Amino acid sequence: MTVRKNQASLTAPEKKAFVDAVLEVKRIGVYDEFVLAHRTRFSIDMNTGVYVGHFGPSFLPWHRKFLIDFENELRKIDPSVSIPYWDWTADNTVGSSLWAPDFLGGTGRPLDDQVMDGPFAHSGGKWTINVSVDSRAFLARNLAYRVPTLPPRSDVDAALAMPTYDSPPFRDGSAGFRSALEGSAGYMSMHNRVHTWVWGHMETSVSPNDPVFWLHHAFVDKLWADWHALHPTSAEYLPAGGTADVIDLNDTMPPWPNTTPQSMLDHTPFYTYA
């Protein structure tokens, strides 16, 4: 059974196993397929007005499936590995062990935001950016530069307290838990704010180029599970059907042929949280 743990509680061997699996998935070319899928989804979302991966209710089930697929690739390399989650309300400084050289490495240098330490530094030879929207071949970050603080726990608790999953128009600014958690209900808040706080590739449509993407989204996914536990009588997902340009409960989510929000509501067949 796959158990996702708080990154702060990982042992040194667990960190090394995760990093090694990520590097191997990268080496064999599979990692970049995930970056490509994310870039493509964002671009289609931009150009069609049908919001599948972002800006709408299917943000949460789409990313849940995206992480399950990636986790499966890691476990082909090492069955002991799972995606850890980063609770950015608690580990909320640039001094967090998350950013140490034995895990994800730290912030970028001033000249070009290039990450210079850790396993994903370009200078280490194992992490070249191949799928992108700009010419940077190195992983870039500038922690706490654009926005100085990560979302506080009070913001998370306020979102978790909302009894409604999502509401019309099912877009940026919609009332409800999904929009509050995604961060589209307020300027630079929640999920969106974390991307912006990390900066560099995490701020772009090719954000999975930074491995912290997976730890960030694992925590977002855990908050969805926490919300569901807090509101057992609320509809787990909205809208239920018949909504133009929006993924309804039983609509198929591209790029997968058979994945619907309904099929993603229960995470426990795939993994549990420690």
Determine if 57 is a binding residue for other proteins (CB under 8 A): no
The residue within the footprint of other proteins, chosen from 9, 47, 233, 268 (CB under 8 A), is: 47
Rounded to the nearest 5°, which phi and psi values hold at 3?
-120, 120
**Residue 209 within binding range of other proteins, rule CB under 8 A:** no
Q: Is 246 helix (H, G, I), strand (E, B) or coil?
A: strand
Count of CB atoms within 10 A of residue 75's CB?
15
Q: Give whole-number Cα distances, 159 to 60, 196, 206, 220, 240, in Å.
A: 14, 19, 27, 12, 21
202/147 Cα distance (integer angstroms): 13
Is residue 39 at the binding interface for other proteins, with CB under 8 A as the rule?
yes
172 burial (CB, 10 Å; 0-12 / 13-18 / 19+) is: middle
Instruction: Give the binding range for other proteins (CB under 8 A) out of 81-89, 94-102, 192-200, 235-243.
Output: 192-200
HSE (CB half, 13 Å, CA atoms) of 243?
A: 23
19 contact partners, CB below 8 Å, separation of at least 6: 103, 119
Phi first, then psi: give them for residue 6, nearest 5 degrees.
-65, 130
One character per residue 218-257, x = contact with other proteins (rule: CB under 8 A): --------------------------xx------------
- Angstrom distance (rounded) from CA 123 to CA 118: 10
Rounded to a whole number of angstroms, the minimum distance from the CB of residue 21 to other proteins is 27
Residue 73 makes contact with other proteins by CB under 8 A: no
Among 72, 78, 97, 112, binds other proteins (CB under 8 A): 112
User: How many whole angstroms separate alpha carbon 165 and alpha carbon 149?
Assistant: 26
Tell me: does residue 44 bind other proteins (CB under 8 A).
yes
Q: Considering beta carbons, is residue 42 or 70 the nearer one to other proteins? A: 42
Identify which of residues 132 and 252 has a Cβ nearer to other proteins in the complex.
132
- Piece in contact with other proteins (CB under 8 A), picked from 62-70, 150-158, 200-208, 222-230: 200-208
Tell me whether residue 71 or residue 203 sits nearer to other proteins (CB atom): 203
Please give the residue ranges that form the binding site for other proteins (CB under 8 A). 39-40, 42-51, 54-55, 110-113, 132-136, 146, 169, 171-173, 183-184, 187-188, 191-193, 195-196, 199-200, 202-205, 207, 244-245
